[in-house]
Amino acid sequence: MSTTTTCVVGLTWGDEAKGKIVDILSAEHDVVVRYNGGNNAGHTVAFDDGTHKLHLVPSGLFHPEVTCVIGGGLVIDPKVLLEEIRANESMATDLRDRLFLSDRAHTIWPWHKRIEALSEKHLGKGKIGTTLRGIGPAYADKANRVTAVRMGEFLRPEHLQPKVERIVRQKNEVFTKVFDDEPLDPDAVWEEYAAYGEQLRPMILDTTAWLHQAIADGKRVLFEGAQGTLLDIDHGTYPYVTSSSASAAGVWTGTGVSPRAIDRIWGVVKAYTTRVGEGPFPTELTGPVGDQIREQGNEYGTTTGRPRRCGWLDTFAIRYAATVNGLDGIVITLLDVLGGLPELNVCTAYQVDGKRLEAFPADPTLLPRVEPVLESLEPWPEDISGTRTFDDLPAAAKAYVERVEDLVGAPVRMISVGPDREETIRRD
């Protein structure tokens, strides 16, 4: 079977360096599609002239022959999208002509960001630790239906204007009566957002129909997941998750492309584990080794700049994520960061009160009590960032990769040993 469609999905809590992998694979595809989330994502792509941070536009944008699609499963902040297009236009040739926005995608408005900030503040210690980009409230409105706006509605401004006024009036009731906060001015909001809609209009289309045709025409399509499986609204560590389908399952809901049309699903993990925001993290290292990983891996959030929590690779959680996604292959990123650590462990199982768990638990009160069962592996002192073939890796690094394959039950297809495109070992 020739491979025409690929999904790249995060296996943990996001930040697995998927941006670099999607950028590399974009050269082998005609279309790159984002299918979930919004500008809570931070995808970093590094090449010759420097580092580019993307939040909404698919990481294929720097390949001039690639069409970029933002699917219906996203929540789009129109202001942020326009800023991102402007910021990247000089490097991404003809971007406005090859970026399509689904008319089914939902939109983020000022009330979403405001309500999220108020709610997180109100929750205090019990907060989710969100990115404060309005993602959760926008998806909540999507489910609520009557207070949501889809991208396609920007094509019918005469219908949208009274709707926005009605929504603002409704939201103002909550701001003023529940949170004792200032109301929003409906006219000012409309004026600002109608202007964004006007600029985005030429890019809005029925991307579901467009993708069906592209696949029928034999175009090679790459689906780019944002966040990761453990942040998936259904399969992640709920309630400390994002509000979208961040596993491969998001492809079908978020683009309208059938699961049967996906030839290959690759899951991306770092060589260790990180998490930003609140929520359980069984293999977290709070001492000097965790700090060393954070510094060597520059583990600070692309979107919010927050220091990431760091810990050992959790193959128990990854095996669960691999099964949820139906993986064909694993991509290990940041393997170079482990070089020079004083010790090296991987988590192979979870136990609670001395009893091993059979499966990754759904109960949010159980996960914080989980003790990781650790297996010690031989660390390596070498800097491996110059290595380009698997055989040239130090024996301990090869053994680490092979142990991950055994524990997760899928082959490692690609290994990243540095941020640049060239700093990659391929095994596919």
Residues serving a catalytic function are 15, 43
| Residue with Cβ nearer ligand IMP (42 or 282) | 42
Q: Given the complex with ligand IMP, which of 240 and 360 has the nearer CB atom?
A: 240
Q: How far is the CB of 304 from ligand IMP (least distance, A)?
A: 7
As measured in angstroms, the least distance from the Cβ of 305 to ligand IMP is: 12
What 3-state class would DSSP assign to 100? strand
What are 202's two structure tokens?
């030429």
Structure tokens at 322: 């691999």
Residue 296 CB coordination number (10 Å): 17
What's 176's DSSP letter?
Answer: I
Q: Minimum CB separation from ligand IMP for residue 203, in Å?
A: 23
Residues 269-298 that bind ligand IMP (CB under 6 A): 276-277
Which CB sits closer to ligand IMP, 78 or 136?
136
Assess 59 for contact with ligand IMP (CB under 6 A).
no
**Cβ distance to ligand IMP smaller for residue 143 or 395:** 143
> Is the preceding omega at residue 239 within 30 degrees of 0, hence cis?
yes
The two three-digit tokens of residue 61, written as one number: 């944008």
Rule CB under 6 A: say whether 227 interacts with ligand IMP.
yes
Task: Return the residue of 45, 56, 128, 221 that touches ligand IMP, per CB under 6 A.
Answer: 128
Residue 15 near ligand IMP by CB under 6 A: yes
Q: What length is written for the chain?
A: 428
Least distance (Å) from ligand IMP to the CB of residue 274? Answer: 8
**Cβ closer to ligand IMP: 317 or 407?**
317
Nearest to 212 by CA among 28, 5, 421: 5
Question: Quick one: how far is CA 8 from the chain centroid?
Answer: 10
The residue range among 12-20, 164-172, 287-295, 391-399 that interacts with ligand IMP, by the rule CB under 6 A, is 12-20
Q: Strand, helix or coil at 231?
A: helix
- What is the pairing mode between strands 221-224 and 5-10? parallel
Query: Could you give the string, one character per residue 187-226, with x where binding to ligand IMP holds by CB under 6 A and - elsewhere?
Result: ---------------------------------------x
Token look-up 């001015």 returns 185
Question: Binding to ligand IMP by residue 42, rule CB under 6 A?
Answer: yes
Our finding on whether 136 is near ligand IMP (CB under 6 A) is: yes
CA dist., res. 182 & res. 188, Å (int): 14
Contact between 131 and ligand IMP per CB under 6 A: yes
Closest distance of CB 224 from ligand IMP, Å:
12
Name the residue type at position 152.
G
Distance CA 199, CA 385 (A): 43
Task: State how far the Cα of 55 lies from the Cα of 39, in Å rounded to an integer.
Answer: 5
55 lines the binding site for ligand IMP (CB under 6 A): no
As measured in angstroms, the least distance from the Cβ of 384 to ligand IMP is 25
**C-beta closer to ligand IMP: residue 127 or 403:** 127
CA–CA distance, 24 with 218 (Å, rounded to integer): 20
d(CA 11, CA 319): 9
- Residue 12 CA to residue 227 CA, distance in Å, equals 8
Whichever of 204 and 318 has its CB closer to ligand IMP, that residue is: 318
Estimate the crossing angle of helix 157-173 against helix 186-200, to 10 degrees.
Answer: 140
Among 5, 12, 36, 243, binds ligand IMP (CB under 6 A): 243
Q: Which of residues 74, 101, 231, 289 is near ligand IMP by CB under 6 A?
A: 231
Range in contact with ligand IMP (rule: CB under 6 A) among 104-112, 122-130, 188-196, 253-261: 122-130
User: What b/e string do you get for 371-395 counting C-beta neighbours within 10 Å, with b at 16 or more?
Assistant: ebbeeebebbeeebeebeeeeebbe
Shortest CB 140 distance to ligand IMP, Å = 10
Q: How far apart are CA 271 and CA 274, in angstroms?
A: 10
Q: Which residues bind ligand IMP (CB under 6 A)?
A: 13-15, 40-42, 128-131, 133, 135-136, 226-227, 231, 240, 242-243, 276-277
